[in-house]
Structure 1
Amino acid sequence: MGQQIALGGDLERRDLVSEAVFRPVRTGNAFEETVERLLHAIKLGLVAHGDSLPPERELATRLGVSRVTLREAIRALQQAGYVESRRGRYGGTFVTYQPAEPGQGDLRRIAADLGEDIDDALRYRQVLEPGACALTAARALTGEQRHYLQARLDDVARADSAGYRLMDSRFHLAIAEMAGSPSLYVSIESTRLRLNDLLNAIPLLQPNIEHSERQHRAILTAILTGDAEAAYREMEQHVTGTASLLRGFLG
């Protein structure tokens, strides 16, 4: 049974639903932007395969759209194969989307679609994420927030090959969320979306996974000890290594 996510409450209850992703729609294109918000949450793994979206009333309020608009957006995603609606006591809207297994995507085709956008996204990420990491380390995190970050790292360590990239995304986005800057979070989320299909097309290499796990632990240690300089340095090394690996596969 998928997990029913509730908005509000403690961080553990909302760990799959980022407030930044489900921020209010602000343009005149309410339907299109609502679809975009929902797809971001699904593709970034913030609401994973088998989990449910928040209840309709709460989600419409969070997005600042009518329930009619929300239903139309959900219907469009259902027709596209991203979600399904279930009735009954344990009903709701459940995510059916699953990304391709790592290494199974068409790396060359995806790279061709992105074109020069790849290098721009990689460079932008190398600026954004170390800065967000340093900001998070410099903040006086609550015990709840510290536990939240540790839980996201534990998710990465437990993930199987099919779920590794999504859990990795959630860890990085959790750090960005704790930085306390919604604008920064949105920029990091957007950059991650630009790169996720490419990253998922790369095979999971065990030495790289082990190295990434060591770097993840070092990043979290720096954050939890309040060492902003170390947090910046560790994240910079981590995202630089990922960029090098991606460029290597692209030749």
Structure 2
Amino acid sequence: MVDKIRAPKSFDLLAQRLREAILSGEIAEGDSLPPERELVEQTGLTRGSVREALKQLSAEGLVQTRPGRFGGNTVTLPGKDIMTNSLNQFVRGRRMPLRTLNETREVLEPALARLAAVHRTEDDLARIRRLHDDLVAASGDFHQFSRVNVKWHNAVAAASGNDVLSAVLEALSFGVTVSTTVDAYDTEDTRQQVIRVHSKIVEAIEQHDGERAERHMRQHLGATHARVAGTKSADVPLSSPSAVENV
């Protein structure tokens, strides 16, 4: 028996050709694609097929379309936000429990802290310090503390210089927020403990001590997730309203 043969649609073929040319560097970022009329003439496709292909590329972040007489289609390259948004939707759509995200963070964040200590710039360090000061100032406000805490963790990730790993962490940011808005965090003592360990991580990053930064981050996450493990939040799917109401 022979299965049905499904020929690819013409606009998919055009999108694939243009996509490959962009990703391979044959068409450079900032270059303008030919006008729709020329693409119709060059490919023999209908104008509708050409527009559908360009629409696909625009959704993928590979083409920026500007309408109007002086508009057109300019080649762009995907930003970190494309990966972050896709992973965020995967986690939320699959209803991953908080425990899964915490396990991911335990693997990821100590390595990011180590890389931050190795690769951070003075600007990176200044931002991490500033957010740490904001965290101290917010210690009396449960929800503000949590919001600043997420920004601090993302700043450490960004300082790693690894856009792939930092994009993954940013996609899990709402999970970080949920971790720190459980009742166990709604105490001044717990928040002071967080501030103390954060200060040790900041110091290690400042001194380019990757091993110490990694060790303190691992201890920090272990303590954080131990607080969450005994709560109902650990198994709440993160797509549910109760899990993300404070994000």
What TM-score, normalized to structure 1? 0.53
Aligned to 1:148: 127
Q: Is the 8 A contact 2:146 2:181 kept in 1?
A: yes
Aligned-partner SS, 1:226: coil
Aligned to 2:28: none
Distance in 2, Cα, partners of 1:249 & 1:114? 21
Q: Give the C-alpha shift of residue 211 in structure 1.
A: 0.6
Listed one character per residue, the Cα deviations across residues 70-117 of structure 1 (whole Å, up to 9, x for unaligned) are: xxxxxxxxxxxxxxxxxxxxxxxxxxxxxxxxxxxxxxxxxxx98663
Listed one character per residue, the Cα deviations across residues 13-45 of structure 1 (whole Å, up to 9, x for unaligned) are: xxxxxxxxxxxxxx93867x89xxxxxxxxxxx
Aligned to 1:188: 169
Q: Is the 8 A contact 2:121 2:159 kept in 1?
A: no
Aligned AA for 1:138? Answer: V
Aligned to 2:210: 228
Distance in 2, Cα, partners of 1:165 & 1:114? 24
| 5+ residue gaps, structure 1 | 1-26, 35-62, 69-112
Aligned to 2:157: 176
Aligned-partner SS, 2:208: coil
Listed one character per residue, the Cα deviations across residues 200-227 of structure 1 (whole Å, up to 9, x for unaligned) are: 2435222211110100000000110111
Q: Give the C-alpha shift of residue 193 in structure 1.
A: 2.3
Q: Give the C-alpha shift of residue 155 in structure 1.
A: 1.2
Q: Is the 8 A contact 2:143 2:181 kept in 1?
A: no
1:28 is the counterpart of 2:9: no
Percent of paired sites with the same residue: 23
Decide whether aligned partners of structure 1 residues 158 and 249 sit closer, same or farther in structure 2, where only a CA change above 3 A counts: same
| 5+ residue gaps, structure 2 | 1-54, 68-92, 235-247
What TM-score, normalized to structure 2? 0.54
Aligned to 1:118: 98
Distance in 2, Cα, partners of 1:116 & 1:198? 14
Aligned to 1:209: 191
Distance in 2, Cα, partners of 1:172 & 1:133? 9
Distance in 1, Cα, partners of 2:63 & 2:175? 26
Decide whether aligned partners of structure 1 residues 118 and 224 sit closer, same or farther in structure 2, where only a CA change above 3 A counts: same
Aligned to 2:117: 137
Q: Give the C-alpha shift of residue 248 in structure 1.
A: 2.2
Distance in 2, Cα, partners of 1:188 & 1:240? 17
Q: Give the C-alpha shift of residue 249 in structure 1.
A: 2.3
Aligned AA for 1:143? Answer: E
Q: Give the C-alpha shift of residue 174 in structure 1.
A: 0.3
Listed one character per residue, the Cα deviations across residues 106-154 of structure 1 (whole Å, up to 9, x for unaligned) are: xxxxxxx986632221111001000000001112x43332212111111
Aligned-partner SS, 1:165: helix
Which of 93, 103, 127 is the matching residue for 2:107? 127
Distance in 1, Cα, partners of 2:154 & 2:221? 13
Aligned-partner SS, 1:242: helix
Decide whether aligned partners of structure 1 residues 114 and 239 sit closer, same or farther in structure 2, where only a CA change above 3 A counts: farther
Q: Give the C-alpha shift of residue 247 in structure 1.
A: 1.1
Distance in 2, Cα, partners of 1:214 & 1:153? 10
Aligned to 1:90: none
Q: Is the 8 A contact 2:179 2:225 kept in 1?
A: no
Decide whether aligned partners of structure 1 residues 132 and 222 sit closer, same or farther in structure 2, where only a CA change above 3 A counts: same
Decide whether aligned partners of structure 1 residues 150 and 205 sit closer, same or farther in structure 2, where only a CA change above 3 A counts: same
Aligned-partner SS, 1:211: helix
Decide whether aligned partners of structure 1 residues 164 and 120 sit closer, same or farther in structure 2, where only a CA change above 3 A counts: same
Distance in 1, Cα, partners of 2:225 & 2:212? 20
What's the RMSD between the two structures over aligned residues? 2.8
